[in-house]
Chains A and B, each alone.
Chain A
Amino acid sequence: MTADENSGSLLKPGRLRTETAVELIELNKWYGDFHVLRDINLKVRGGERIVICGPSGSGKSTMIRCINRLEEHQGGQIFVDGVEVTADLKKIDEIRREVGMVFQHFNLFPHLTVLENCTLAPIWVRKMPKSEAEEVALHYLTRVKIPEQANKYPGQLSGGQQQRVAIARALCMNPKIMLFDEPTSALDPEMVKEVLETMVALAHDGMTMLVVTHEMGFARQVANRIVFMDEGQIVEANVPEEFFAHPQHERTKLFLSQILR
């Protein structure tokens, strides 16, 4: 990807090559003897927004971390935009360039300014000149509504601001798919809204998103599908209206009764 290709498509997410953004086929993973992911099958089309929920320990975070190879799977296959995720380092690099991730604890680089956080990867991975990278960074910082914080350090920002910077940082690489690992779980309640609003705006721009979260309001608003996981397997999946109104499986009903008030 050269710099030119990037500057033209600043406003829209990168274009997918195939129709299927992410495909998990019979995905299995073990931590030692513990079977953490069991026979996962999932197909995510381009532009879809999938919300993944479930009790803690159900393997939801592990599943999406397998997609960009932060975790290794031992059984089954994972395809990202047609490219299989294996131990091949070149393929892994390729995939990680096109998949962005937002973490529960933000993981901003504390020794760099907000702007530097955002320009780091474009400069060192996409080999962009500094001025262009900064332009892109400021654009996305404006999108997440905190351009004035560009020269501050992460330690000086609130939790909600830090998470928005994390989103902007991931967006600066112009990813085709965004993964969210419980993005609001570590935030104080009054800051959850600003981050969710950012994610809703992202969804409306057509970004393919896989979001692990407990925020059912967000799911209702934006998700195409809700996937419920428990004990390492997908238990139920449906469109939000049906999922909340008519849960089928016993465990889904139990879970919903616990989290919806």
Chain B
Amino acid sequence: MSMAEGDLAVAEMAFVRRATIAPRRPPAAMTGPIAWLRANLLSTPFNIALTVLIMLLLAWAIPEILRFLVIDAVWSGNDRDACLWTVQHREIGACWPFVWERLPYFIYGSYPIPQRWRVDVFFLMLAVGVVWLLWLKAPRRDLGAIYFFIVLPVVSYILLTGWSAIGLEPVDTVLWGGVLVTIVVASVGIVFSLPLGIILALGRRSRMPVVRTLSVIFIEFVRGVPLITVLFMAGVMLPLFVPEQYSPDKLVRALVGIAIFASAYMAEVVRAGLQAIPRGQYEGAMAVGLGYAQMMRLVVLPQALTVTIPNIVNTYIGLFKDTTLVFIVGIFDLLRTIEVARIDPKWATPVTSTTGYAVAAIFYVVFCYGMSRYARAMEMRLAKGGRR
């Protein structure tokens, strides 16, 4: 670098730069893939050992998974013989014909085949509702809320259980199974837990001692016990508490249990959101003369719910996973249909179980991961909006 007078910085008191220094590229050793490798993976002996270990692990795990799911997998066949090892084909991977054949069972359970179009309509309506509510740029999202929380439940109920008056043949809930049941249970949980949770949260913050006490007792009781016990309670105790002629069917009992459980957890999430709203909002609303209900509906709740959307979605992810517990009270959700199918002697091979679990895993990962990406996107959006 040339040093002209005036460019030289000396320990003298005065200095003025004559020529601006243009930015330069960093030295080669600093950037580029080699430098990155060195910094991130190979910086210390310990790091090097760790990197080697993990690469060995991945070198074993990834090919193994690919082998099972794709390379050595069987893609067509009619029964177990297709998926047993033979002299020519010693390593067997996933038994996909098992999945293809049982797929309708996994999705609809034992729902009568000519009526399955009703289930498809239900799925479609649900998808419409979800997109309408979650897509922030959708028009008239308040109508979307009414659709999702009021219209959809009523129509779905009629559609799925049937109503002879309009020509929809009744279908007993015993026949429902698989993805249909999982989605129904999760949806009921979601649809009921939010309004109930809001009521409970407001109740817990109420100044009326009776209301507050009842809310606290309910919330802490339900949150303190395992979901299994709530399902058992709903399953065995609900028929006891109602007169004999109204005894609810098994699915309804499980739905009640799930709804109660989810509401208690949602209540805490909503409460945290309410606490995050500054007092000034409440005071401002009261100052312009809004009554309690109006203040909540127009000012406080919209803000509280928006702030806690990531937490609400996280609770829904938990709820979605918790739907598998209805398995234990005899409801045929997706997991149970897979359990039933995998022990079918027609498909009994050493790989059937793992194939079945793989299908379940893919289903849940897709849904839950999808929900968590949405939650994270919302979080970032909210963080951006809040920053001035």
Contact = CB atoms under 8 A, between A and B. Distances in A.
Please tell me whether chains A and B touch each other in their complex, using a CB distance cut-off of 8 A. yes
Interface of A: 26, 28, 30, 32-35, 38-43, 45, 74-75, 225, 231-239, 242, 248-249
Contacts of B20: 231, 233
Given A30-B30, A35-B26, A75-B27, A238 B21 contact: no
Contacts of A30: 26, 30
B9 A42 contact: yes
Nearest to B8: A41
A237 B11 contact: no
A234 B9 contact: yes
Given A233-B20, A234-B17, 4 more contacts: A32-B31, A42-B9, A232-B21, A248-B16
Interface of A is mostly: strand
A247 to B, nearest CB: 9
Given A30-B30, A32-B31, A33-B31, A242 B14 contact: yes
B127 interface: no
B157 interface: no
A120 B151 CA distance: 65
Contact of A236 (B8, B10, B17, B21): B17
A112 B109 CA distance: 62
Given A42-B9, A43-B11, A35 B16 contact: no
27 contacts: A26-B1, A30-B26, A32-B26, A32-B31, A33-B25, A34-B23, A35-B23, A35-B24, A35-B25, A38-B23, A39-B21, A41-B9, A41-B10, A42-B9, A43-B10, A225-B13, A231-B20, A233-B20, A233-B21, A235-B16, A235-B17, A236-B17, A237-B13, A238-B13, A242-B14, A248-B16, A249-B17
Interface residues on B, range: 10 to 19
Contacts of A237: 9, 13-15
Nearest to B17: A235
A234 B17 CA distance: 7
A34 B25 CA distance: 8
Contacts of A45: 11
Contacts of B21: 38-39, 232-233
A99 B210 CA distance: 63
Contact of B16 (A28, A74, A249): A249
A39 B31 CA distance: 19
A214 to B, nearest CB: 21
Contacts of B30: 30, 74
A40 B17 CA distance: 11
A90 B15 CA distance: 35
A35 B31 CA distance: 13
A139 B63 CA distance: 67
Which of A32, A38, A43, A237 counts the most B-chain CB atoms under 10 A from its CB? A237
Contacts of B27: 74-75
B360 to A, nearest CB: 43
B14 A239 contact: yes
A238 B26 contact: no
Contacts of A242: 14
A214 B149 CA distance: 57
A45 B12 CA distance: 11
B41 to A, nearest CB: 18
Nearest to A238: B14
Contacts of B16: 235-236, 248-249
A34 B20 CA distance: 16
A42 B15 CA distance: 11
